[in-house]
Structure 1
């Protein structure tokens, strides 16, 4: 009987012992810096990379190179010659964008991601790409939120929460989007304004140690290499001497060639696969879209409060939509601009003054790579705002956070923003 039990359980026991030995030997404090590895992490745009605290902290604390968090969503995956990471590499900028975001990631995802790098954002700078398309009636997508969520984010949040209105709101939103999470019980306490018990805190400390060791161990492996295959390759195609005139000329030529197969100025590959088979069905398909009422406004407030707590100086980038495409699909431009104004009011009234607003540039030639994502000339225009913000002396931010932007009344407010209160 013992022999049979050992045959069944022996391999499992040995595997567990091996795991404990490996994790026990992993040091979470020894973050040896390698610029090549960190540059690969900065553009990997993998789920693992986004979830990893170890990778982000390692790059953002490198004493010999400056990585700057670029928060956003699927636009970062558009690696053409003018992509921010490509331009930074080609012209040896004093900073390297650390890209955070993928398709479906929005403010709530970034809020929980920020929990892992609060220390690295204190008195630093960041770029936040904020798309009005995030502000749908239902807000953040639950499946996308769960995809980019890691236990480490919840642990850091729960260990630092102090029972504020922002903590309670963040916990409520978490429970709505991830109700089956193993952190449900603790999140419910935070949502109700209750304190975590001594047992909860002990459990979190243990979970934190295990998570950090797992994270450090698996972070040694880089699976996706966009750096060599896309960034370096594209950077070699740019003019040797930096010049916006030359870059705009290159961008126009590249955009013209890449979008030659359709009348919308959309990249041919995207158009042929995503648009052409459904073109007739998409006619006037966006007539009822409305970005003025959304819980995303409250989720954005979570992020703004976190930036203010960290005294992070942020440049917000607001993109346009492809004008030819929005005309075809019937997207209401007046509604779009009202949503932009609402977003800007929420930013500016609280002291977030650095805004690169491109929302009216959707009709410019080769500004958009597809229907809603910037590319070619759009990236060049963005660089004209980003580069001086990150390389020239900036005045210190003076934030005045207003928690009224955290309530449902603001989320559903459709009148002139400056008459809100």
Structure 2
């Protein structure tokens, strides 16, 4: 009787281990330049949670990363991605963010990409809605949480011990992290240095490392195989080679045609779908929002700290709310002004510049709806990008 051969099985296991354990930096050339270019406006959730495409983007001088949240998806005619598609300045905006992507999610991403941020210019758009009393909720963080970035933070940290400690403590406040036994153990070992905690971490570390490598290869495969879904549709007749006055006039005319049924200068489609059905119950809804006491300020400080450690060159954009709408919702003008002043002071204390747009709260059509930039609101950002890119 012929003895069974285990050679094919052994060879398969060895090949699997080789593929899993080979560092991704050696496989980065497999992610083509065309793929990175397509990802610049794709707003792909998997890309936000991964590292490969962002790593390659940061290495290229042709991209200007723009970090933010749901406003990035408002790809209207005057959005930077459309504007600079038509009026080239030698760099392409690369969008990173979606709804619920608040400061701490960006912190984890920056911590993972720290090496590529050195001397890199970037825009960071701040939303006042991040700074409500509760800060990042369990639901919003869980929906945008990157398991890969968290494991890399735990196993291969690139930030200072101070930020490792702060990051670990903050991660452990979220259910999605506490429910991951391996990750929870690794993070607790950064905080508690007793023998029992360290021993538990040492036991799980090999398994956690292997799991992280699997996640890295999954990210690589997605980076290579993903099919982009988002396409730009610029309108050159409205934006090509126009003066800023002409652009503002065109933006206002477009907005007027799409905002006809409410006194808040909100886009009709958004108003009809999101506001009109519950307009009565929204009156005074935000009067206790606690805009000045949010835990988001600490999360945002970690963003400032990691960018400072990385020696990045960010320009922060402080976006206003729709003053007409927020007056109706009961969030006082004094509290809003307090937020604008507080966030500006926090940024400037770290030596970073701020494009403060807070004086546009009552500028009709500056926002597309109750909170998101649109139409006229993108124009000062487009202008600032041109000046920012020219700076040495």
TM-score range, shorter chain: 0.7 to 0.9
State how far apart, in whole Å, the 1-side matches of 2:386 and 2:138 are.
34
The answer to whether the aligner puts 1:39 opposite 2:37 as a matched pair is yes
**Contact map agreement 2:131 2:295 (CA 8 A) in 1:** yes
Alignment of 1:138-177 (within 5 A): 138-158=134-154, 159-160=156-157, 164-177=161-174
Q: What residue is the counterpart of 1:323 in the other structure?
A: 323
- Quick one: distance in 2 between partners of 1:30 and 1:321? 44
Deviations 1:260-304 (A, max 9, x none): 222211111111100111111111222222211011111111111
Q: Secondary structure at the match of 2:366?
A: coil
Conservation of the 8 A alpha-carbon contact between 1:168 and 1:193: no
Check whether the contact 2:183–2:208 (CA below 8 A) recurs between aligned residues. Answer: no
CA RMSD of aligned residues (A): 2.6
Question: Which of 206, 212, 228 is matched with 2:210 structurally?
Answer: 206
- In structure 2, the CA distance between the partners of 1:326 and 1:163, relative to structure 1 (3 Å rule), is closer
Matched, 1:344 2:344: yes
C-alpha deviation, 1:155, in angstroms? 2.5
User: In structure 1, what is the equivalent of residue 257 of structure 2?
Assistant: 257
Matched residue, 1:60: 58
CA distance in 2, matches of 1:239, 1:77: 19
**Contact 1:286–1:330, Cα closer than 8 Å, also in 2:** yes
Give the deviation of 1:34 after TM superposition. Answer: 4.1
> Which region of structure 1 is more displaced relative to structure 2, 258-267 or 157-166?
157-166
* SS at structure 1 position matched to 2:314: strand
Provide the secondary structure at the position in 1 that maps to 2:139. Answer: helix
Q: Does the C-alpha gap of structure 1 residues 24 and 189 become closer, same or farther in structure 2, counting only changes over 3 Å?
A: closer
Asked whether the 8 Å contact 1:361–1:367 carries over to 2, the reply is: yes
How far apart in 1 are the matches of 2:158 and 2:240? 49
**Within-5 A mapping of 1:74-223:** 74-158=70-154, 159-160=156-157, 164-177=161-174, 178-181=177-180, 182-192=182-192, 202-223=206-227
TM-score by length of 2: 0.87
Q: What is the TM-score with the length of structure 1 in the denominator?
A: 0.81
Give the distance between the partners of 2:307 and 2:21, measured in 1 at CA. Answer: 35
Q: Distance in 1 between matches of 2:21 and 2:288?
A: 57
Secondary structure of the residue aligned to 1:169 is helix
Return the alpha-carbon distance in structure 2 between the equivalents of residues 72 and 349 of structure 1.
21
CA distance in structure 2 between the aligned counterparts of 1:358 and 1:240, rounded to whole angstroms: 24
Q: Which structure 2 residue ranges, 5 or more long, are not aligned?
A: 1-8
CA shift for structure 1 position 242: 4.1
SS at match of 1:360: helix
What is the number of equivalent residue pairs in this alignment? 372
Q: Secondary structure at the match of 1:262?
A: coil
**SS of structure 2 residue aligned to 1:220:** helix
Distance 1:206 1:22, change over 3 A: closer
Query: How far does the alpha carbon of each residue in 1:132-172 deviate from its partner, in whole angstroms, 9 at most, with x for none?
Result: 22112221122222222222211321212677332222111
In structure 1, how many angstroms separate the alpha carbons of the residues matched to 2:260 and 2:100? Answer: 29
Aligned partner of 1:390 in structure 2 is 389
Residue of structure 2 in register with 1:48 after alignment: 46
Find the residue that maps to 1:82 and give its secondary structure. coil
Gaps of 5+ in 1: 1-12, 394-421
Structure 1 residue 376 corresponds to structure 2 residue 385? no
Query: Deviations 1:337-364 (Å, cap 9, x if unpaired)?
Result: 1112111221112212x10111120111
1:30 equivalenced with 2:34 (yes/no): no
1:370 and 1:169 mapped to 2: Cα distance? 35
CA distance in 1, matches of 2:234, 2:160: 48
Whether the 8 Å CA contact 1:72–1:129 is kept in 2: the answer is yes
Asked whether the equivalents of residues 157 and 164 of structure 2 are also in contact (C-alpha less than 8 Å), the reply is no
CA distance in 2 between counterparts of 1:150 and 1:326 reads 33
Q: 1:146 to 1:191 in 2, by over 3 A?
A: farther
User: How much has 1:379 moved relative to structure 2?
Assistant: 0.2
Shift of 1:74: 0.7
Runs (4+) off by over 6 Å: none
